[in-house]
């Protein structure tokens, strides 16, 4: 997909690949301004879910392996003025050691991995009612049903841990994240970064509350701008303004 590259390669500042969920990973490229845009995107996303300067974030997402999400969260946290504990994925004992050492109040985590951390805590006499974590930004897996209720994964976490869960949705090609606010009624569109259509099988916009394919046009991207790019993702769209 290098044919999509719209700048000379000597102006590329970061090389990425997608996770390859449905096949071979896709190569992706960022210019200097794209890196700044990515940082701005994630700062805005973190602020949407009430994370502010001075908060401490346990980042369990890798920032290596050419992966965008971890880089975005790190850059956005720095721009926001939040502290970051870069534990990365895996090694559950290490996660709890760092929680005890630095007392983060936010964790960025795949929800099923958070469940594994809970199991480890229960097996090792870690008191979940007396930990510093208050918010979890959940990535990679849904925590809500189509009617915006918590799904079984979220309910299992909340049954044993007093923590506020925030759902997110994003993809490398968007370079933009949809993050929930405190009202928990879906990920919020950052209108200055992305133009979104949600289309039915006949390429017509679906009504509010209905589902369709997410089709995106990126705004402000230099390296690989996309126009009406079909993501293959299906979402339910709500067009009302959120109470936040």
pLDDT tens readout for residues 169-201: 999 999 999 999 999 999 999 999 999 999 999
Alpha carbons 180 and 59: distance in angstroms, whole number: 18
pLDDT at 20: 73
The runs of H, that is alpha helices, within the chain are: 32-48, 68-80, 92-102, 111-123, 152-160
144-164 mean pLDDT: 94
102-131 mean pLDDT: 96
Both tokens of 12, joined, read 């590329």
In this prediction, residue 125 has a pLDDT band, given cuts at 50, 70 and 90, of very high
Name residues whose C-beta falls within 8 Å of residue 212's C-beta, 6 or more positions apart in sequence.
Answer: 198, 199, 200, 205, 206, 234, 235, 237
pLDDT > 70 in the chain, percent: 100
- Mean pLDDT over each residue of the chain, to the nearest integer: 95
In this prediction, residue 229 has a pLDDT band, given cuts at 50, 70 and 90, of very high
pTM of the model: 0.94
DSSP bridge partners of 195: 217
pLDDT at 99: 98
Q: Tell me: the pLDDT tens digits for 11-62?
A: 999 999 987 767 788 899 999 999 999 999 999 999 999 999 999 999 999 9
> Using an 8 Å Cβ cutoff, are 29 and 15 in contact?
yes
Q: Is 220 left (phi over 0), alpha (psi -120 to 50) or beta?
A: left
Name residues whose C-beta falls within 8 Å of residue 206's C-beta, 6 or more positions apart in sequence.
Answer: 198, 199, 200, 212, 237
Name residues whose C-beta falls within 8 Å of residue 157's C-beta, 6 or more positions apart in sequence.
Answer: 111, 114, 115, 118, 136, 163, 165
């Amino acid at each position: 997909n290098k044919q999509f590259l719209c700048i000379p390669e000597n102006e590329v500042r970061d090389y990425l690949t997608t996770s390859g969920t449905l096949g071979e990973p896709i190569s992706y490229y960022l210019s200097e301004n794209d890196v700044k845009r990515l940082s701005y995107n994630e700062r805005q996303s973190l602020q949407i879910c009430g994370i502010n300067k001075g908060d401490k974030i346990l980042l369990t997402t890798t920032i290596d392996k050419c992966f965008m999400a971890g880089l975005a969260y790190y850059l956005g946290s720095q721009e926001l003025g939040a502290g970051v504990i870069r534990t990365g994925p895996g090694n559950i004992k290490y996660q709890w050691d760092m929680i005890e050492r630095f007392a983060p109040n936010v964790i960025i985590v795949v929800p099923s991995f958070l469940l594994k951390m809970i199991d480890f805590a229960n097996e090792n006499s870690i008191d979940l009612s007396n930990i510093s974590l208050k918010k979890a930004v959940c990535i990679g897996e849904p925590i809500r049903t189509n009617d915006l209720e918590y799904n079984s994964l979220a309910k299992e976490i909340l049954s044993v841990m007093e923590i506020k869960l925030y759902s997110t949705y994003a993809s490398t090609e968007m370079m933009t994240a949809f993050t929930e606010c405190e009202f928990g009624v879906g990920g919020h569109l950052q209108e200055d970064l992305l133009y979104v259509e949600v289309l039915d099988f006949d390429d017509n916009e679906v009504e509010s509350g209905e589902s369709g394919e997410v089709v995106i046009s990126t705004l402000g991207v230099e390296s690989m701008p996309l126009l009406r790019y079909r993501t293959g993702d299906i979402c339910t769209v709500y067009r009302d303004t959120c109470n936040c």
